[in-house]
Chains A and B, each alone.
Chain A
Amino acid sequence: DVKVTQSSRYLVKRTGEKVFLECVQDMDHENMFWYRQDPGLGLRLIYFSYDVKMKEKGDIPEGYSVSREKKERFSLILESASTNQTSMYLCASSSVGDTQYFGPGTRLTVL
């Protein structure tokens, strides 16, 4: 059974803190994705990676960075969290040109 896990379901951080969101998949997928989801805006792609140590900017990369040191793990980093980064963050993985499998999401609140 396919599995994408995210390190936290709920996270509360303070403005200016460095935040790490971790995502792990066990399906040996090449592609991994980070989205944020906000009411009225749908899912927006932040970054994606199609191979280890490779990354591509999505639609809204500003204020975020990513790391993919191992095939199964894709990390999203907020260098200095701000209140406008309060959101639901969703990680997904896929084989090339195939279905994306999503994690349960991390609801991040920045105070």
Chain B
Amino acid sequence: SQQGEEDPQALSIQEGENATMNCSYKTSINNLQWYRQNSGRGLVHLILIRSNEREKHSGRLRVTLDTSKKSSSLLITASRAADTASYFCATDAWGAQKLVFGQGTRLTINP
């Protein structure tokens, strides 16, 4: 299985601090995506990074991808209470039409 694994499983920080979450996977990928899920809701797509990219930014989000280490990180800068959610990475293997999701990181931003 090429299931992604997020680390840490849970993260609690103060508002205004930066939050970093990591994801590791097992096989070659076409792209890697990060999603957010608020409690009891569906997943919302945050950012997609392709296998030939090393870094991508979107607002306060910064994603890096290291294909040699089969890992990715998601950095949220200047965190806000509204960022409290679970964050999932998902990998899309070459030739596959489905994503494989990790277990997620539960992020709590304390006011």
Contact = CB atoms under 8 A, between A and B. Distances in A.
Partners in one complex: yes
Interface of A: 4, 31, 33, 35, 40-43, 45, 48, 50, 56, 58, 88, 90, 92, 96-97, 99-105, 107
Contacts, number: 51
Interface stretch (B53-61, B67-75, B91-99): B91-99
Contact of A99 (B33, B41, B88, B102): B33
Nearest to A2: B45
Q: Identify whether the interface residues of B are mostly helix, strand, loop, or mixed.
A: strand
Contact of B45 (A40, A90, A101, A107): A101
Interface of B: 30-31, 33, 35, 40-45, 48, 88, 90, 92, 97-104
A48 B98 CA distance: 8
A42 B97 contact: no
A43 B101 contact: yes
Contacts of B40: 88, 105, 107
Contact of A102 (B44, B48, B92, B104): B44
Given A40-B103, A90-B42, A105-B40, 15 more contacts: A31-B98, A42-B88, A42-B101, A42-B102, A42-B103, A43-B43, A43-B88, A48-B98, A92-B43, A99-B48, A100-B33, A102-B35, A102-B44, A105-B42, A107-B40
